[in-house]
Amino acid sequence: MPKQDFSDPNAVQKQRAQMEQRTSALGPAPTGVSESRHSIPMRDGYKSELKIHRPSSSGTEHPLIVLAFGGGFMMGSNDQLTPYARSLVRLYDAVVVNLSYRLAPEHPWPAAQHDSWDAVAWLAENAASDVIGADPRKGFVLGGISAGGNVAAVVAQMSLKKGSELKYPLTGVWACIPVVVPDASVLPDEEKDLWFSRTQNANVPMLDAEAVERIGKMLKPDVRSEWYSPWNAEKPFVGMPRTYVQVDGMDPLRDDGLIYERCLKKAGVETKLTVWPGLPHGHFAFVPMLEVSKKANLETMMGLGWLLRKEVSVHDVVKVLAPPAGA
């Protein structure tokens, strides 16, 4: 398995191009799904692009699912999770919107988190518009993979503090292999000894501890900010909507997800946890041909249904499922 190189901006640019090549071969939307793009203003006037996936049928009583891509905050695009989005439209009659956010090192922290918050607030305000055509009262789920998992966790936590800025509250959060713990000092004392995957999984395929460290250096976050880790909030986790967490066992970020779910549960949040033992970061995207990867994608679709309080059969999922592109 090739290691991801986050050693310098030139290497990042090369990997961006490779990822864009993978996501550019998605093909047209399947029958029953319509797709469009729409630009919205960010707080500084920058225009950020949404990729919107809608059921072809008429009506606006569709739940709203918002997805944030992964890529170490330095690569990726709103095309990445299009295969998931198409499957979710067909499974749950949902409107699925893939976010954009500006990338480091050109746009370091908290650009991704701020752009994502602004987009979620815009979507809540404009959900019923002809552009979106959804009803968040039927379900309003925010999710993401890896860096996108951080975005989902941070924005969801922030929504508890800044709820007056959202027309509708979030009803569910999906945090897949998230990075949410900058170091053990942000954790409660009883959780500190449980955070050791950075060491245990320091030399693993795909994403290793060195890559995580280099991402941090390029991102330049304030690790004590609530815009980087939900543990930095005044009352972390209290009042969060039901949350689905996924974790890879052979991943330096493993314990971020495990402790995140544990602390949510301690705060009285309804949680669902899926662990894939012995598998590297993002195995379902990087090695999609494995049976365990196919099973992981199925579990993701079922878990997002759990967030929407909707049940579908395994057979229904298999019929529509496609893996994420280049996550």
Q: Is the distance from CB of 244 to CB of 175 less than 8 angstroms?
A: yes
Please tell me the distance from the alpha carbon of residue 48 to that of residue 316, in angstroms, as a whole number. 34
| pLDDT tens by residue, 131-184 | 999 999 999 999 999 999 999 999 999 999 998 899 999 999 999 999 999 999
91's tokens: 């499974």
Q: Where are the beta strands (DSSP E) in 155-283?
A: 172-176, 242-250, 271-280
pLDDT of residue 17: 66
Say yes or no to pLDDT of 116 above 60: yes
The beta-strand segments (E) located in 101-241 are 140-145, 172-176
pTM of the model: 0.94
Q: Over 60: is that where the pLDDT of 293 sits?
A: yes
Domain ranges of the chain: 9-320
Calpha distance 181→231 (Å, rounded): 8
Q: How confident is the model at residue 58 (pLDDT cuts 50, 70, 90)?
A: confident
In this prediction, residue 59 carries a pLDDT of: 76
Q: CA 266, 297, 326 angle in degrees (round to 5)?
A: 105
Q: How far apart, in whole angstroms, are the C-alpha atoms of residue 79 and residue 135?
A: 23
pLDDT of 20 reads 65
Q: What is the pLDDT of residue 323?
A: 63
What does the pLDDT look like over 61-104, one tens digit per residue? 999 999 999 999 999 999 999 999 999 999 999 999 999 999 99
For the cut 80, the answer to whether the pLDDT of residue 11 exceeds it is no
Q: Which of 16-30, 51-65, 195-209 has the lowest mean pLDDT?
A: 16-30
Crossing angle between the packed helical segments 291-308 and 82-92, to the nearest 10 degrees:
50
Place of tokens 């509250």: 169
Hey, what CATH class is 9-320 in? alpha beta
Structure tokens at 299: 């579990």
Query: Pairing state of beta strands 33-41 and 47-55?
Result: antiparallel
